[in-house]
């Protein structure tokens, strides 16, 4: 299960989406997330699903990777659905009633909406990291934050920090898997027992994981200092970011999606 997490991973490729400007991909991702909460009916989500499926096909990313990004949140989706079904009260007669348990059509509708939103949210953000390298993400975020430098915002440092955090997610997942297997070989049990017992059993896993994380952070800091890293001041880039026809096409399609979503809200 741990190694199935695909957040932060990058799949090299030469597809249409891979070659897009990272700034455009980041902005489209934000617009896509906002658009998920604009839609208020199932008809609007038909266009969003068609948009994201088309993006996956164009990116040539295997649907298996997309499934891996959704798989770790199955429990969260189930808990969200149960809470919405049983906690939402409707105005009409309940569909099901037994003692204090009542299920209304509004609760079912809201549960389905929340599941669709969470799944599309994870798929959209995963597609961004799967098709954009850490260096491109850093450059894109820094360029987008440059206007805020006048307000004293450290754009380069913030972009570097966010990218390093994303980059080290797969590394820490792999480290967690290795530590877990080593502890299980020594007799550790992470499956049996109740919630409290499982929480106690995680201590032999969390302690070495934190130590390993601090060690990696210290090694990364020493490597950056050894290479005379001084932040973004005076930094040059081998590849300059520039807009192409791909970015124009993607922007037009995203604008069309937003227009359709707003229209579907009042449809």
Q: Give the tens place of pLDDT for each residue, 203-252.
A: 778 888 888 888 888 888 898 888 877 766 666 666 777 888 999 999 99
What separation in angstroms does the CA of 194 have from each of 33, 72, 173? 37, 21, 24
pTM of the model: 0.75
For residue 130, what are the contacts with CB-CB under 8 A and spacing of at least 6? 6, 9, 10, 11, 59, 61, 65
As a whole number of angstroms, the distance between CA 166 and CA 171 comes to: 10
Task: Give pLDDT tens digits for 60-76.
Answer: 888 888 887 787 778 88
Tell me the domain boundaries of the chain.
Answer: 2-265
Chain segment 138-174, per-residue pLDDT in tens? 788 888 888 887 777 777 778 778 778 777 777 787 8
CB atoms closer than 10 angstroms to residue 40: 14
Nearest Cα residue to 161 out of 143, 131, 127, 137: 137
Chain segment 19-35, per-residue pLDDT in tens: 899 899 999 999 999 88
Contacting residues for 189 by C-beta, under 8 A, at least 6 apart: 201
DSSP label at 232?
B
Six-digit token pair at 245? 């026809």
CA distances from 238 to 34, 65, 89, 136, 139 (A): 33, 30, 58, 12, 11
């Amino acid at each position: 299960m741990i190694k199935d997490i695909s957040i932060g991973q990058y799949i090299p490729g030469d597809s249409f989406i891979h070659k897009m400007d990272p700034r455009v991909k980041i902005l489209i991702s934000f617009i896509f997330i906002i658009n998920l909460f604009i839609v208020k009916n199932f008809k609007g989500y038909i266009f969003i699903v068609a948009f994201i499926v088309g993006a996956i096909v164009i990116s040539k990313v295997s649907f298996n990777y997309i499934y891996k990004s959704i798989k770790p949140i199955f429990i969260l989706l189930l808990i969200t659905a149960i809470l919405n079904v049983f906690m939402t009260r409707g105005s009409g007669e309940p569909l099901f009633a037994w003692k204090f348990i009542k299920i209304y059509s509004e609760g079912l509708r809201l549960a389905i909406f929340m599941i669709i939103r969470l799944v599309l949210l994870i798929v959209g953000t995963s597609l961004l990291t799967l098709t954009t390298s850490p260096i491109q993400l850093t450059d894109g975020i820094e360029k987008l934050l440059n206007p805020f430098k006048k307000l004293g915002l450290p754009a380069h440092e913030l972009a570097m920090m966010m990218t390093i955090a994303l980059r080290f997610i797969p590394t820490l997942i792999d480290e967690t898997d290795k530590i877990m297997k080593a502890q299980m070989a020594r007799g550790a049990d992470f499956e049996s027992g109740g919630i409290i017992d499982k929480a106690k059993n995680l201590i032999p896993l969390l302690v070495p994981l934190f130590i390993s994380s601090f060690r990696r952070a210290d090694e990364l800091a020493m490597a950056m200092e050894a290479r005379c890293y001084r932040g973004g001041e005076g930094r040059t880039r081998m590849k300059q970011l520039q807009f192409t026809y791909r970015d124009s096409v993607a922007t037009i399609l995203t604008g069309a999606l937003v227009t359709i979503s707003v229209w579907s809200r009042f449809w």
